[in-house]
Amino acid sequence: MSADLALELEDVVFRYQEKGRRNILDHTSLTIPAGTLTVLMGGSGCGKSTLAAVAAGLYPENGGFLESGIIRLYGQDLKTLDPQKRAAYLTVLFQNPDLQFCMNTLREEMRFCLENICIPAGKMDERIEQAAAELGIAPLLDQPLSTLSGGEKQKAALSCLYVMESRCILLDESFANLDHEAAIQLLEMLLRMKASGRTILAIDHRADLWLEAADEIILLEEGGRVAARSINCKNLPEHRADFERLGLFYPGSRSERTVARPAEGKPLLQFRGVSIRKGLPTRRKWGRPVYDAPFLVQNTDADFPAGCMTAVLGPSGTGKTTTFLSVLRQHPYTGQILFQGRDIEKMKLKELYRHIGIVFQNPANQFVTQNVEDEVCVGLRLWEPGLSDEACRQRAEELLDRYGLKRQRRYSPYMLSQGQQRRLAVLSVLAGGQELLLLDEPTYGQDSRSVNAIMEHLREKVEQEGLTVIFITHDTELAAAWADKIYRLEDTMLVEKTAGEVL
């Protein structure tokens, strides 16, 4: 029990169902020295997020059942600390960028944080302004939080932690929605925080970014147990086998480039002079909407060839998600979007959705059943009405197994880890029979094994069934490796890039 340990877990046993048989944290013991930068890696669903919540004292307070174990923050038993004191030691940046906020704007949210830790009212503005300047988030301060893009939300959440100045911060996959430049910028800021004596604990599926700065990489396996630790950039090669065994991304290794097929098929989806504005019309005049928000996309042409995989890259907040919504006619645009040469404005919504499927950036919004297996079956059944119950279940099980979800097949989709939820969302949409799939960051938050499972499945469908896929990603390597065509959304234009250019 030493005070130079920031976090100490001793033989912790935790599970979500009190009477369940499966312990998510199964005799987990872990120590994190104070003042270090540590990266935690582990397969999707191995219990990293759970560990974070337990370490912060949020579980079992808010759910789950802690059977045994002791947790200490800077030598203090967690049980003796109330949320206010805990926050002084440890704060968490959650994996899901939505649902982290309780106020309307970032400025108010930061005030709320400062109020919680009893900062005098007179000092608040000063701290907020300083954080805004340091983190470059001044433009976001007064925008309603619910309208921020995924990456912007993560930045906002991080700046809340920044102003709170707690001694240890735990980041759960917080760079996953950010482009490379933004991630570097935040990393520099984290390093400054570390230099001032703070402890940083990052959960991430990719260690590349952290490698140089990290004091230690810890690998977790099923049950949240430590599989290997004290990994750093020097002894990394010795641990390659561990990474591979656990299905994790080995830093520096590139996924092999699949042979890109020349993207010369007839375009399935075409943009002709498309312009999209930020947000919704703010007011109406004579019953017609008036837009005064800036353009996200302006007068852009683009072709998405049939039977190909097209990647869309671009910095956070440039309007990738919004563009997808426009294709689904859920967001206003001007110009023409053509599907198979037909203007989508002229198609009935119902007809459009028979051709186009989507996986949203936040998968939890799209589950339609209360059971993982049913979720897949819904897709299968709808497209093959003749399928017998038995056959349907069997097919669903095969698919789930492929995605490493078989064990959870009787779970509710909401009881899955973030990565598992996303896999299920992709799977359930792939089970349908649409010709065009829009995937909004399908591989975000996945380990290497799952990324390959998803991308191979997509590739297979593209090659065998002529499916057309457009996916948004921040992962340039992924785009370079798998996409037949790459667009980058920059300066309000969709610009075509080659694999070499984006890397």
Q: Which of 410, 463, 490, 503 binds other proteins (CB under 8 A)?
A: 410
- Judged by CB under 5 A, the chain residues 144 through 203 that form the site for Mg ion are 150
Candidates 30-38, 222-230, 267-275, 346-354: pick the segment binding other proteins (CB under 8 A): 346-354
The residue among 136 and 279 lying less far from ligand ATP, judged by its C-beta, is 279
The residue among 418 and 428 lying less far from Mg ion, judged by its C-beta, is 418
- Judged by CB under 6 A, the chain residues 299 through 328 that form the site for ligand ATP are 314, 316-322
Q: Which of 14, 30, 48, 90 binds ligand ATP (CB under 6 A)?
A: 48
- Judged by CB under 5 A, the chain residues 46 through 65 that form the site for Mg ion are 49
Q: Which two tokens stand for residue 292?
A: 């005064």
Query: What's the CA gap between 493 and 488, in Å, rounded?
Result: 8
- Judged by CB under 6 A, the chain residues 231 through 270 that form the site for ligand ATP are none
- Of 362, 361, 356, 374, give the one whose Cα is nearest residue 432: 356
Element (H, E) at 226: strand 225-231
The residue written with tokens 């808010």 in the block is 62
* CB of 402 closer than 8 Å to CB of 364: no
Q: Does 96 bind Mg ion (CB under 5 A)?
A: no
Query: What's the CA gap between 278 and 292, in Å, rounded?
Result: 9
Q: Which two tokens stand for residue 78?
A: 């967690």
Q: How far is the CB of 321 from ligand ATP (least distance, A)?
A: 3
Q: Which amino acid is at 60?
A: P
Query: What's the CA gap between 114 and 130, in Å, rounded?
Result: 14
Q: Which amino acid is at 401?
A: D
Q: How far is the CB of 320 from ligand ATP (least distance, A)?
A: 4
Q: Does 144 bind other proteins (CB under 8 A)?
A: yes
The residue among 408 and 418 lying less far from Mg ion, judged by its C-beta, is 418
Q: Does 20 bind other proteins (CB under 8 A)?
A: yes
Q: Does 357 bind other proteins (CB under 8 A)?
A: yes
The residue among 49 and 428 lying less far from Mg ion, judged by its C-beta, is 49
**416: partner contacted, choices ligand ATP, other proteins, Mg ion, none (Cβ within 5-8 A by kind):** ligand ATP
Q: How far is the CB of 15 from ligand ATP (least distance, A)?
A: 8
200-223 in b/e form (b: 16+ CB < 10 A) is: bbbbbbbbebbbebbbebbbbbee
**468: partner contacted, choices other proteins, Mg ion, ligand ATP, none (Cβ within 5-8 A by kind):** none
* Long-range Cβ contacts of 325-332 (<8 Å, 24+ apart): 326/274, 326/276, 327/269, 327/356, 327/438, 328/352, 328/353, 328/356, 328/358, 328/438, 331/276, 331/280, 332/276, 332/277, 332/280, 332/281, 332/289, 332/291
**279: partner contacted, choices ligand ATP, other proteins, Mg ion, none (Cβ within 5-8 A by kind):** ligand ATP
For ligand ATP, what does the binding mask look like between residues 72 and 101, x meaning CB under 6 A? -----------------------x------
Q: Which amino acid is at 217?
A: I
Query: What's the CA gap between 494 and 400, in Å, rounded?
Result: 35
Radius of gyration of the chain (CA): 23
Tell me how crowded residue 352 is: count the other CB atoms within 10 A of its CB: 18
* CB of 297 closer than 8 Å to CB of 275: yes
* CB of 41 closer than 8 Å to CB of 218: yes
Q: Which of 116, 147, 370, 394 binds ligand ATP (CB under 6 A)?
A: 147
Q: Does 284 bind other proteins (CB under 8 A)?
A: no
Q: Does 420 bind Mg ion (CB under 5 A)?
A: no
Q: Which of 37, 202, 296, 437 binds ligand ATP (CB under 6 A)?
A: 296
Q: How far is the CB of 398 from other proteins (least distance, A)?
A: 15
Candidates 119-127, 221-229, 296-304, 386-394: pick the segment binding other proteins (CB under 8 A): 119-127
Contact residues: Mg ion, CB under 5 A: 49, 95, 150, 321, 361, 417-418
Contact residues: ligand ATP, CB under 6 A: 16, 24, 42, 44-50, 95, 147-152, 177, 278-280, 296, 314, 316-322, 361, 408, 411, 415-420, 445
